[in-house]
Structure 1
């Protein structure tokens, strides 16, 4: 079998198994998720040992410390994944919801809009092994089939995780035998991904999770819709009217809680009138916590930061994702200047304001063109789990279909169902009946 035929077989299996999965009940899909938890628990030591192997290889191959941190799959991360799956189990069934019910003719022609799965998802991700678990739980709950391609640096961990998921799928039986292990498949090479990106007749959505370079390469090499974000250049603006302690806590958490995360702050904007008091306090607090942050400051801010840790900012850094303990620090004369800078140089991911001025908070929320706009809280809250979505497929900075942290709803589309009793278009052109727009009250979500 040629490589092309082999990839086509993978895609067809995903399509067929996805169709079967979409016909299952919520109880059956929840049973799969509960069984996945059991398999992850049973294979805990094997999965963690596989991750130790990947980490050893990463160090041997001189993979960056940022990538190694993302690669690490600890007991805590596995426990968080299991909590996330339980959250997904607790959610109501996303499939089959009637979101529109309307009688559109005077003789009883009824129109309904009903939620259904997107179909087959191709997920391409780097480093983070937990992504496979998070996305599999959401995909199964929402009735979607899944093809995974993890980073080569996490090969051993990803293999063990997917084997645990497949083992769970093999264990679960349903009334119509609609579950099989092809619901979740994995590929390992760039060549396989390149081939799958061309199979638009069977793959419905591509979700790349990783660097901006990865996302752009995927977008340039497929006609399949892509959902993702290029970079996480997140910014925090500290307004003239602010609470000092809150501002310090928010800025420090946004930068240092997990610097490699896409929702970590990369640029701090400070109102010029408070810079002389705020920046020295910030640098002192960071020094007390031994964070070792490097500042790239403009000509005004540089005067209020430690000289041994501060460099002059350059134009290319204004849109740069450091993914580490470095940040730009810039002065602005007013909130309009801050908004303009964020919209021009940010990545439209997550941006925050720290202010005690309600009018400025509303202005910021209305004018910042980002997927997540926060008021008086850390940018690190931009996460599906923290939003209560159970887990997240990724964060989308696009404007179509889904935006921000994408949970179950982002994996759904809909179909229209028209229910009649012999109606024909000719009846209306002849004036025998008329078109109407009468809403139908459905108490039980049933249309037949």
Structure 2
């Protein structure tokens, strides 16, 4: 048996016991992880410094290097996130519906863990912590593969997490495992009899390659091409504030705005204002022909409308109507997150209904599309799928359901024929 098959089988064995481990034990394991991060923060930052130095020497993109950094502040954020997850209600064993099929024959639909999850992610070491903790809380075993650029940080984090949870309960052995190479993860994709779900977090190319090379269901998003549309009825002061945050606050992430759409009625007033703000922040602006007649900037090409920059770059286009903005977004968006700035409730509702994205927003920044900010505790990623889970995927997105039928000796034969017993199908919950 190869090592990857053995790791997958170990994860599968662990998953069978996880759903029956009480909530207080799972929360104790999470607290053990939080304490391990706090007490080993210097070791973690030392390992991260090695990765940062190597990344700089390799001249990796600055956006990637920024995501790679795992400072004391980031560790503190991870600890806060873990304790937030601990406060979330249990998602295992919730009775979603209860139906009386007949007297004494009761059917429950009950939430349960998905099972074994494979996750591949790039750059961000904090993702390893988030994903491990979410999987543990929701009763799933996880096999993780981080980017080689974060190998030292990921290794120490995985070791700390494994030691921390096993010290609480030996049944957690195998719950969190780290794969070393991309070849190992590619091998994992072959074991569809042991792995229930793959979650990729990374580039469009990475996600596409995984989708094309496995029979295991894949949940995630291929790109984060987010839009903010400034409507003709927008409060322009609010619009400038929100558009600045959506691009500049943290441009290297998937929920940052990449394209700004502006209604032609307010373009001459708004464009110079937002262009000045972007200019101060060092944002490279690329505009269509109408935009460049108002403010000087680089020309936007057709490719810019479907580009995820993950950097201080934004494409800008003038549109003549709400419908044109919606049509543009539905054509070029990655169906991640899109926002409208307007004082018109009717326009906002039409936008949020008709834009086909996992999150639509009114008068606020696309940067809010995040599991922690949505009150999910944290997230394993953003899903643009239309099956099972969509948007920021937290604890509930890591569960599925099973049916539990309780009877008193009934048989199907008793319900056959004209004179057989009749089903009541009475909803109890």
TM norm structure 2: 0.98
Return the offset for 1:323: 1.0
Say whether residues 1:187 and 2:185 are aligned partners: no
Aligned to 2:95: 98
Q: Structure 2: any 5+ residue segments left out of the alignment?
A: none
Matched, 1:437 2:425: yes
Q: Distance in 2 between matches of 1:395 and 1:127?
A: 16
* Kept after mapping to 1: 8 A contact 2:135/2:141: yes
CA distance in 1: counterparts of 2:38 and 2:276, whole angstroms: 44
Q: Which secondary structure does the structure 2 equivalent of 1:14 belong to?
A: helix
1:273 to 265, 269, 272: 265
Q: 2:39 aligns with which of 42, 45, 48?
A: 42
**Post-superposition shift, 1:180?**
3.3
Q: State the SS of the aligned residue for 2:265.
A: helix
TM superposition shift of 1:311? 1.3
1:414-429 paired onto structure 2 within 5 Å: 414-429=401-416
Q: Who is 1:231 aligned against?
A: 223
Query: Could you tell me whether the CA contact under 8 Å between 2:189 and 2:216 is conserved in 1?
Result: yes
Contact 2:326–2:354, Cα closer than 8 Å, also in 1? yes
C-alpha distance after superposition, 1:43-102 (max 9, x if no partner): 111001100010000011111111100101111111111111101111111111111111
Structure 1 Cα separation of the partners of residues 14 and 206 of structure 2? 28
Classify the secondary structure of the residue corresponding to 2:32.
Answer: helix
- Deviation digits for residues 111-140 of structure 1 (CA, Å, limit 9, x no counterpart): 111111000010000000000110111101
- In the TM superposition, residue 108 of structure 1 has moved relative to its aligned partner by 2.2
Q: What's 2:302 paired with?
A: 315
1:343 corresponds to 2:340: no
Contact kept, 8 Å, 2:38 with 2:76, in 1: the verdict is: no
Cα deviation, 1:276-322, whole Å, max 9, x if unaligned, reads 111011112233xx3111111111111122x3xx1111111110011
Corresponding residue number in structure 1 for 2:130: 134
In the alignment, does 2:6 pair up with 1:9? yes
1:371-397 Cα shifts (integer Å, max 9, x gaps)? 000000000001001111111010001
Question: 2:106: which partner in 1?
Answer: 110
Residue 163 of structure 2 corresponds to which residue in structure 1?
A: 167
Matched, 1:257 2:249: yes
SS in 2 for 1:166: helix
Over the residues paired in the alignment, what is the CA RMSD in angstroms? 1.0
Q: Give a deviation string over 1:213-271, Cα, whole Å, max 9, x none.
A: 11101101100000000101100000000111100001010010111110011100000
Q: Deviations for 1:182-223, whole angstroms, at most 9, x for unmatched residues?
A: 110010111111110010011000000011111101101100
Query: Does residue 1:385 correspond to 2:372, yes or no?
Result: yes
Question: Secondary structure at the residue paired with 2:53?
Answer: helix
Aligned mates of 1:331, 1:286 — CA distance in 2: 17
Shift of 1:23: 1.2
Partner Cα distance (2:320, 2:165) in 1: 58
Alpha-carbon distance in 2 for matches of 1:66, 1:87: 28
Q: What is the alpha-carbon distance in structure 1 between the residues aligned to residue 427 and residue 107 of structure 2?
A: 10
- The structure 2 residue matched to 1:56, chosen from 53, 59, 62, is 53
The structural deviation recorded for 1:438 is 1.3
Look up the match of 1:404: 391
Measure how far apart 1:170 and its partner are: 2.4
**For residues 186 and 345 of structure 2, what CA distance do their matches in structure 1 show?**
50
Query: Which of 344, 349, 353 is the matching residue for 1:362?
Result: 349
User: How many residue pairs were aligned?
Assistant: 428
Q: 1:80 aligns with which of 73, 77, 81?
A: 77
Report deviation, 1:432.
Answer: 3.3
Is the contact made by 2:29 and 2:165 (CA closer than 8 Å) also made in structure 1?
Answer: yes
After TM superposition, the runs of 4+ consecutive aligned structure 1 residues lying more than 4 A away are none
Shift of the alpha carbon at 1:181? 2.7
- Asked whether 1:300 is paired with 2:290, we answer yes
What secondary structure sits across from 2:139 in the alignment? coil
Consecutive unaligned residues in structure 1, runs of 5 or more: 442-448
